[in-house]
Chains A and B, each alone.
Chain A
Amino acid sequence: MPPPEAPPARPPAVAMRHIEKRFGAVHANRDVALTVRAGTVHGIVGENGAGKSTLMSILYGFYEADGGSIEIDGRPVRIAGSRAAIALGVGMVHQHFMLVDTLSALDNVMLGAEPDWRLTPARAAVRAKLEALMRDTGLGVDLDALVQDLPVGERQRLEILKALYRGARVLILDEPTAVLTPRETEQLFETLRSLRAQGTTILLITHKLKEIMALADHVTVMRQGRVVLDAPITEVSLDGLAEAMVGRRVHLGRAEGATGAPGAVLLEARGLTWRDALGITRLADVSLALREREIVGIAGVSGNGQSELLDVLAGLLVPQQGSLRIGGREFTPQRWLDPATARRLSVAHVPEDRHRRGLVLPFAAWESAALGYQKQARYDRHGWLQGRVMRDDCGTMMERYDVRPRNAALRSSKFSGGNQQKLVLAREAFGRPQEPRVLLVGQPTRGVDIGAIEFIHGRLRAMRDAGGAVLVVSSELDEILALADRVLVMNAGRVAGELPIAECNEQTLGRLMGGGGLH
């Protein structure tokens, strides 16, 4: 049961008004207002790019807003940097922990705020303070253990402790449960309830709607830089939140139907499970099948396993469990696919991160245009690169996908982001001599200008119509809805739900993306 509302006479812990923030052409925050009552848990919900992270970064001093004002405890303030924010009592627990693995938990808390230049008295003083703090809040951390020996949940508690030690009265948590097991999540919630009882104000950034319903007193939903919903939790429902988060989609239920029924299964994955180096499960028992003449879209808020899924299917990651069948061959964790084999099996991959993966920036365009295919007979004759063929192919690719400038000798880094993306797509879709049968695409139109988006979508549809299977991972729900014949929503490393496009609507998608079930 959420506690009764605080008496109105007390000023809000945080009041942000008319916040504006642009990054170049991107309008990240548009006239955003946020009022957070002291001693409450305030949830901030939204998809990728909704603007919630930007807003919190402004509050924490990473950025300064272009316009608007901020008040802490009723006093107008200017937050010029993280140090100013900390001084004002604002603490942040980041998604990626800011800890030094080889130092003890105690030393990590103390770093930068040591009470004495000699460590022995400093540690004693800090330990006393921390033990009191741990008693009061119920947070338990082994202060003498090295961070590298601590489990993930304990590291997060340490981050919270760090913020509290520096006097945080407002605690911002950015997607805190992304790395936690269900049990650790429960422990975290207990901690947060306890902190709230002591008067700490908590800002919880998340896309997991169930958590909001369970924990928050008040919720703000953002979409495309604006606040679309702001209400006490008693006045909202899970479905209401889901719909607000996803918004009304004009394209739902597309005008054009699919050109033919899907054909044979070209790629089948079963039970894919992958845990990262820290032991966090990023993919949990994911199964999917890709068929001829079908575009499958993977929807979901970033960070729920979509990237890892792409990498596993492309042969860049080896799962701990699961199987993959392509082209009559079966792959298991003992002998998994690798990128070269994938290409030989006619599986092409457009990576999400084109800068680090998709291109070699210092290479000329014609060299990048062969990346991944450099050993194929077309380009490699007895170890010698067939430069002319590679250049001609590059020229053809540039023509087909309208890559500018049409200069195959130009360094890859000199092309604009959108043109780089088009080049990578052109390369993967290219017929050598046949076009690929399976195309895995991550964020196909990221950074691409509006005119080219339609063009690229058209090419993907054309590939499908020619008999290929296309898998699109995108953080833009609009894109998924425009392209996909079938939509899989991922949440917390699992496939939360699978729907044919005709059955997709705001509520269902929102629920699935927010961690709720289908019904």
Chain B
Amino acid sequence: MDDVLIGTLVASTLRVSVPLILCALAGVLSERSGVIDLGLEGKMLLAAFATASVGAVTGSMALAVAAAIVVGVALSMLHGYACVTHGGDQVVLGVAITMMAAGLTVVLGIAWFSLGGQTPPLAEAVRLHPLLTGVAGAVREVPVVGPTLALALFGHNAFVYGALAAVAAVWWLLFRTRFGLRLRAAGENPIMVDAAGVSVKGLRYRALALNGVLCSFAGGYLVLAMNPSFIPNMTAGRGYMALAAMIFGKWHPVGALWACLLFGFLDAVSIRLQGVPLPVVGEVPVQAIQALPYVLTVVLLAGFIGRAVAPKALGRPYVKER
């Protein structure tokens, strides 16, 4: 196999995985605290729309990202209000958020831009640019692995490196800080946390706030790096794939990273595999590869490839009992 091919495969895997990674991390934080999040898709979509519209109108990436964050956190707070404060069904709420976002983005898009739901393309200045191109040049000179490494790891935009950094940050937050310890306990045994004098609702709200921010970056990335315009339903099920990756990664940030990279790899490779016969299985239809992440998740959930044990208190609203 050719260096350039490996390099480009790794590179496109990374680029494609970014929204998955960010959403999966958001899911990990929320679900580890005990709150199911099926609204990842909706939050990402609405944040993408916010980024695209504010970016198109103001021409400022900073404002566009800020708008996305506001939107993402607002939806997460709605999630908190309905489910943590009022004990509403978390699954139904996630579905509601996704349905609302799908409708609202197109309605506003048509009203504001009259482009059939799309937003005008963002100018290049507003979007993300490759970083570390200088370093990439230097790495290319390294014998043997240089060109592959340069292609694979350098020259990506800020969000790619940001997503990887976010994995480390979430890991550190969950496993090396007091907040993370309490958050994980709240998702397993909220009664114990409450008895220890820590507010379960406070922990869950904070987890949801972080969840909102991460989803907004995921949504922003779609527009700032992948497609310069918002297109109706541009998330295309990524939010659910992130959910699958989170489960596949057993609710662990690093596990989720590997799962996202795997799913991203499958996505990156699916186009190339079209029409190419593989040993033993022959030609693999692109739809089979598209379905593979979901099939793998089902197989995992069925317990056939190890067990995915969710946080024990996941999905159950915490009600103080006396």
Asked if the two chains touch in their complex, CB atoms less than 8 Å apart, one says yes
Chain A residues within 8 Å of B, Cβ to Cβ? 62-63, 82-83, 86, 98-103, 107, 110-114, 116-120, 122
Q: Is the CB of B196 within 8 A of A113?
A: yes
Whether A98 and B192, one on each chain, are in contact in the complex, defined by CB atoms closer than 8 angstroms, is yes
Contacts of B175 in A (CB 8 A): 119
- Which A residues are CB-close (under 8 A) to B192? 98-100, 111
* Chain B residues in 8 Å Cβ range of A111: 181-182, 185, 192-193, 196, 198
Using CB atoms, name the residue of chain B closest to A97. Answer: B192
CB pair B189–A119 under 8 Å, yes or no, is no
Contacts of A82 in B (CB 8 A): 195, 197
Contacts of B196 in A (CB 8 A): 98, 111-113
CA distance A457 to B134 in the complex (A): 91
Q: Give Cα A58–Cα B193 distance, bound, in whole angstroms.
A: 20
Contact, CB under 8 Å: B177 / A103 = no
Task: Output the least CB separation between B309 and chain A (Å).
Answer: 8
Q: Is B272 an interface residue (CB 8 A)?
A: no
Alpha-carbon separation in the docked complex, A122 to B192 (Å): 20
The answer to whether A112 and B182 touch across the interface, beta carbons within 8 angstroms, is yes
**B312 adjacent to chain A (CB < 8 Å):** yes
Give me 8 A-to-B residue pairs in the complex whose CB atoms sit less than 8 angstroms apart, sorted by A's number.
A98-B195, A100-B189, A103-B181, A103-B184, A103-B188, A112-B198, A116-B178, A117-B178
In the assembled complex, the CB of B313 is this many whole angstroms from the nearest CB of chain A, namely: 10
Judge whether B191 is part of the interface by a CB distance below 8 angstroms. yes
A100: chain B residues within 8 A (beta carbon): 184-185, 188-189, 192
Please indicate the chain B residues that have their CB under 8 angstroms from the CB of A98 in the complex: 189, 191-192, 195-196
Q: How many A-B residue pairs have CB under 8 A?
A: 60
Closest to A103 in B: B185
- Distance A48 CA – B221 CA, assembled complex (angstroms): 62
B-side interface residues, number (CB < 8 Å): 21
What would 18 more interface pairs be, CB under 8 Å, given A86-B197, A98-B195, A103-B181? A62-B322, A100-B184, A100-B188, A100-B189, A101-B188, A101-B189, A101-B312, A102-B188, A103-B184, A111-B182, A111-B196, A112-B193, A112-B197, A113-B196, A118-B178, A119-B175, A119-B180, A119-B181
Is A119 a contact of B197 with CB atoms below 8 Å?
no
* Contact yes or no, B322 A99, CB < 8 A: no
- The docked-state distance in angstroms from the alpha carbon of A116 to that of B181 is 12
Nearest-CB distance from B139 to chain A (Å)?
A: 34
- Name A117's closest neighbour in chain B (CB-CB): B178
Inside 8 A of B188's CB, which chain A residues have their CB?
A: 100-103
The answer to whether A122 and B178 have CB atoms under 8 Å apart is: yes
B residues in contact with A116, CB < 8 Å: 178
- Residues of chain B touching chain A, judged by Cβ–Cβ distance below 8 Å, are 175-182, 184-185, 188-189, 191-193, 195-198, 312, 322
With both chains docked as a complex, state the minimum distance between the C-beta of B200 and any C-beta of chain A, in angstroms: 11
Instruction: Kindly report which residue of chain B lies nearest to residue A112, judged by CB atoms.
Output: B196
- Taking the nearest CB of chain B, how far is it from the CB of A66, in angstroms? 15
| Chain A residues within 8 Å of B193, by CB | 111-112
Closest A residue to B175 by beta carbon equals: A119
Nearest-neighbour CB distance to chain B for A83, whole angstroms, equals 5
- In Å, the complex CA distance between A86 and B198 comes to 14
* Alpha-carbon distance A114/B193, docked complex (angstroms): 13
Task: Return the chain B residue nearest A114 by Cβ.
Answer: B178
B195, A107: Cβ atoms closer than 8 Å: no
- Which partner residue on chain B sits nearest A115 by CB separation? B178
Give the distance in Å from the alpha carbon of A117 to the alpha carbon of B193 in the complex: 16
Q: In the complex, A110→B312 CA distance in Å?
A: 20
Q: How far is the CA of A101 from the CA of B313 in the complex (A)?
A: 12
Residues of A within 8 A of B195 (CB): 82, 98
Least CB distance, A479 to chain B, in whole angstroms: 28
Q: Shortest Cβ distance from B232 into chain A, in angstroms?
A: 41
Using Cβ atoms and an 8 Å threshold, which residues of chain A touch B179?
117
Give complex CA distance A103, B197 in Å. Answer: 18
**In this complex, what residue of B is CB-closest to A166?**
B196
In the complex where A83-B197, A98-B191, A101-B312 touch, is A119 in contact with B185 (Cβ < 8 A)? Answer: no
CB of B173 to closest CB in A, whole Å = 10
**Bound complex: CA A83 to CA B193 (Å):** 12
Complex CA distance for A111 and B187, rounded to whole angstroms: 14
Chain B positions within 8 Å of A118 at CB level: 176-178
Q: How far is A325 from B192 in the complex, measured between Cα atoms in Å?
A: 44
Which of A63, A112, A116, A117 has most B Cβ within 10 Å?
A112
Q: Which of A63, A113, A114, A119 gathers the greatest number of chain B CB atoms within 10 Å?
A: A119
Known A62-B322, A82-B197, A113-B196; contact A119-B191, beta-carbon cutoff 8 A: no
State how many angstroms separate the Cβ of B193 from the closest Cβ of chain A. 7
In the docked arrangement, what's the CA distance between A98 and B189, Å? 8
- Cα distance A196–B177 in the bound complex, in angstroms: 36
Which A residues are in CB contact (< 8 Å) with B185?
100, 103, 111
B178 neighbours in A (Cβ, 8 Å): 114, 116-119, 122
Q: Which chain B residues border A114 with CB–CB below 8 Å? A: 178, 181
Q: Which residues of B contact A62 (CB under 8 A)?
A: 322
Residue in B178, B180, B322 whose Cβ sees the most chain A Cβ within 10 Å: B178
A83 to B196, CA, bound (A): 8
- Per the bound structure, the CA–CA distance linking A116 and B179 in Å amounts to 10
Top 5 A-B pairs ranked by shortest CB distance? Answer: A112-B196, A98-B192, A114-B178, A117-B178, A100-B189
Residues of B within 8 Å of A113, CB to CB, are 196
Q: How far is the CA of A83 from the CA of B188 in the complex (A)?
A: 21
CA distance A119 to B182 in the complex (A): 11
Smallest CB gap from B189: residue in A: A100
Min C-beta distance of B40 to chain A, whole Å: 24
The answer to whether B176 and A120 have CB atoms under 8 Å apart is yes
Cα separation A112 to B182 with both chains bound (whole Å)? 7
Q: A119 to B173: give the CA distance in the assembly, Å.
A: 10
- Residues of chain A lying within 8 A (CB to CB) of residue B312: 101-102
Question: Once bound together, how far apart are the Cα atoms of A82 and B195, in whole Å?
Answer: 7
Bound-complex Cα distance A261 to B182 (A): 63
Contacts of A120 in B (CB 8 A): 176
The smallest C-beta distance from B321 to any residue of chain A, in angstroms, reads: 10
In Å, the complex CA distance between A112 and B192 comes to: 10
